[in-house]
Structure 1
């Protein structure tokens, strides 16, 4: 397996509130997009990933539903830590973070997710979203009340319905899928997915060039389009 990644503050933001985690030996990968006041988003995303990392030894011998349950518990623990900090440290008030996690275990992959950072699977030249945006516009689209184009222009397109640390309790989406040779998994924050459409991802992934070149072209395209937000992408390439 190869892992490629980039994380940048973009063209407008003064600091990068995205964080990502690569633990190749444990098969665990994650991205987090923090939100909050002055640098509080940065605190939230890094704190969530730190809690996730401390939980990793508990996942080592687990399988199937026990693995999903324990990974969900890791999210609950991260939520408690971020929420407590946001409610007790004045400069962290109102902070929270998205968190999208990929755990690769033998012939199985577990995806756990809160927020609007995304996970995709590239298999047999087909791109499949593995997560659902926990955002206001995402919910309106699922209800058929707005179109994709309307969602991109919606004045509340950045409003999250779920985030780690936003509330004392949290609901986590968690699912497992089988792993196949030559699968490619992409984790990304909305600073990337808002700039690059699923169609453009598919077209670039179909290119015969090395994966390093494909990801670099997508990084450059994000910057060329103004990159108004921090953006992060993490790609796990099964070989």
Structure 2
């Protein structure tokens, strides 16, 4: 009998306290935020037992209409894959091959759309793919994926920002990078000029999914407003995924909420 994952998953997105529009988008295993949605905050939940899942968060850039357009294009492309191909793949390696193609093609699509508008636009993406008892996370930009396992918070993605580049060079440390002027300068995003090279995502190692794991995908409106200790505390609480999302977003909004905020939580109830 094939392994299935029993999950409790939720997503909550808010435009925040300052922005007029929500440039964040999400993909929730076949469901997504509609473009120009007036529901704010917007939340969805899923309790399911299945072999495969895909979840993603995108954070648009370019300002209001443009940012929302870019993140929505990325999500629509992901939905096309989900409808046409997702059920055909049986391994993480197969899924990863397609995601490589998805990233480069979506980058091209958003860039070409920006040319028709004569305005620069782009989006981040952070996602996690589950296939039986395996998973892999990937990202482009500064949206993030975390795993809470056995009370340890593990960041599965690396932010593509100028500040993080300086961290890798030893110029900044992880604490000072959070406040550095270059923390919002993206070094990689979907919508960049393809003439500069093929756009590629960074992938985590392939993970073996364990009962009790809790995964978080979020935009930098969340991760940039909370400390790792705050993330760990709320992910550790034995509440439902919906309750965890609400607590995380409420805390980010309470800490200022200057950006759009999206939290997507997947709790692994059983692996069988």
TM-score relative to the length of structure 2? 0.82
Offset at residue 211 of structure 1 (A)? 4.1
- Residue 166 of structure 2: SS of its match in structure 1? helix
Partner of 2:120: 94
Moved beyond 6 Å, runs of 4+? none
Does structure 1 residue 230 correspond to structure 2 residue 260?
yes
Does structure 1 residue 19 correspond to structure 2 residue 19?
no
Q: Distance in 2 between matches of 1:20 and 1:209?
A: 22
Partner of 1:73: 101
Q: 2:152 aligns with which of 86, 110, 126?
A: 126
Q: 2:135 aligns with which of 99, 105, 109?
A: 109
Q: 1:36 aligns with which of 36, 39, 62?
A: 62
Offset at residue 28 of structure 1 (A)? 0.8
33-42 vs 53-62, which moves further: 53-62
Q: 1:7 aligns with which of 13, 33, 36?
A: 13
Unaligned runs of 5+ residues in structure 1 are: none
Q: 2:219 aligns with which of 186, 189, 193?
A: 189
- Residue 191 of structure 2: SS of its match in structure 1? coil
Say what the alpha-carbon RMSD is for the aligned residues: 1.6
Contact 1:33 1:98 (C-alpha < 8 Å) held by counterparts: yes
Q: Distance in 2 between matches of 1:6 and 1:192?
A: 11
Partner of 1:174: 203
Unaligned runs of 5+ residues in structure 2 are: 1-6, 31-49
170-179 vs 1-10, which moves further: 170-179
Q: In proportion to residue count, which structure has more helix? A: 1
Instruction: Tell me the matched-pair count.
Output: 237
Q: Distance in 2 between matches of 1:206 and 1:103?
A: 22
Does structure 1 residue 147 correspond to structure 2 residue 173?
yes
- Residue 187 of structure 1: SS of its match in structure 2? strand
Contact 1:72 1:174 (C-alpha < 8 Å) held by counterparts: no
